[in-house]
A and B are shown apart, each in its own frame.
Chain A
Amino acid sequence: MSDVEERVKKIVVEHLGVEPDKVVDNANFIDDLGADSLDTVELVMAFEEEFGVEIPDDAAETIVTVGDAVRFLEKNKKS
């Protein structure tokens, strides 16, 4: 597991209170992990903080699965 993947999964587990083994690459935050719309905003804010990036709304809309987040952050992270 890459460093980014590990950090993303840790945030998702902590924030959504789900079992780590549910947080797989193709898990959809809303459909599979029980997030509501505010959860998804909070996750984006947590990713921004953790990785020192700004995630604009149009990019945030494309982040619907754990893998989407990992791929976006691997490409754009600053820390």
Chain B
Amino acid sequence: MFDLSGTAALVTGATGGLGGAIARALHAQGARVALSGTRRDALDALAAELGGDCPVLPCDLGDRGEVEGLVGRAEAALGSLDILVNNAGITRDGLAVRMRDEDWDRVLAVNLTSGFALARAALRGMMKRRHGRIIGITSVVGVTGNAGQANYAAAKAGMIGMSKSLAAEVASRGITVNCIAPGFIESPMTDALNEKQRSAILGSVPAGRLGTGAEIAAAAVYLASREAAYVTGQTLHVNGGMAMI
């Protein structure tokens, strides 16, 4: 089950903890994976780890011109594109009353607008081939909200609404569009928390632990698979029970 042999995937934000885990998991299931991100050296290191056959496509998702070209570069490198994982995301946290316009704009541009532009570009080829998987990595805060993250939560909620709309438009073409909403996941950011902060977070998670990148990646593998062909417009919450929606 969940064999991705013969498929081609593009993962944005592949140098991050989640993006790297997703790229590794898709690759392990047999997909060819193009790796995109902003740090060339980290992308090269991941490509080397995965064994060479992974095109490295540096791209600043805050730059409209670069975003417009990324899917074409991936299709040229891979010969096709079956799976798009919109994973890249940034935060510029701050309480709304103090939030600067540029922090709002930048988070929306990278976390939401780029995802739309990439999906729009990828859909052309997917519609012709009558097959495709678009997966957006959103967040539990896109559904619950979170103080200090008005920009980030808006972008993540926007991704869910966008994905549902795209799903309705292209379902008849064998293309599914879904989201994964992680809760608290182990990352360099959560490693830096002190014991008190950590126990406060864990108090809100019934599972009593943080999630792992591999657990998010497993959800991506499922949604990317042929077995998930009848699942579309959905958001799969992977959060240890911290929000049951």
Contacts and interface: CB of A to CB of B under 8 A. Distances in A.
A45 B124 CA distance: 9
B186 interface: no
B177 to A, nearest CB: 14
B243 interface: no
Question: How many interface residues does chain B have, given as a range?
Answer: under 10
A42 B172 contact: no
Interface residues of A, number: 4
Interface of A is mostly: helix
B127 A36 contact: no
Contacts of B169: 38
A38 B124 contact: no
Nearest to B169: A38
B173 interface: yes
Interface string B168-180: 0110110000000
Interface of A: 36, 38, 42, 45
9 contacts: A36-B172, A38-B127, A38-B169, A38-B170, A38-B172, A38-B173, A42-B127, A42-B128, A45-B124
Interface of B: 124, 127-128, 169-170, 172-173
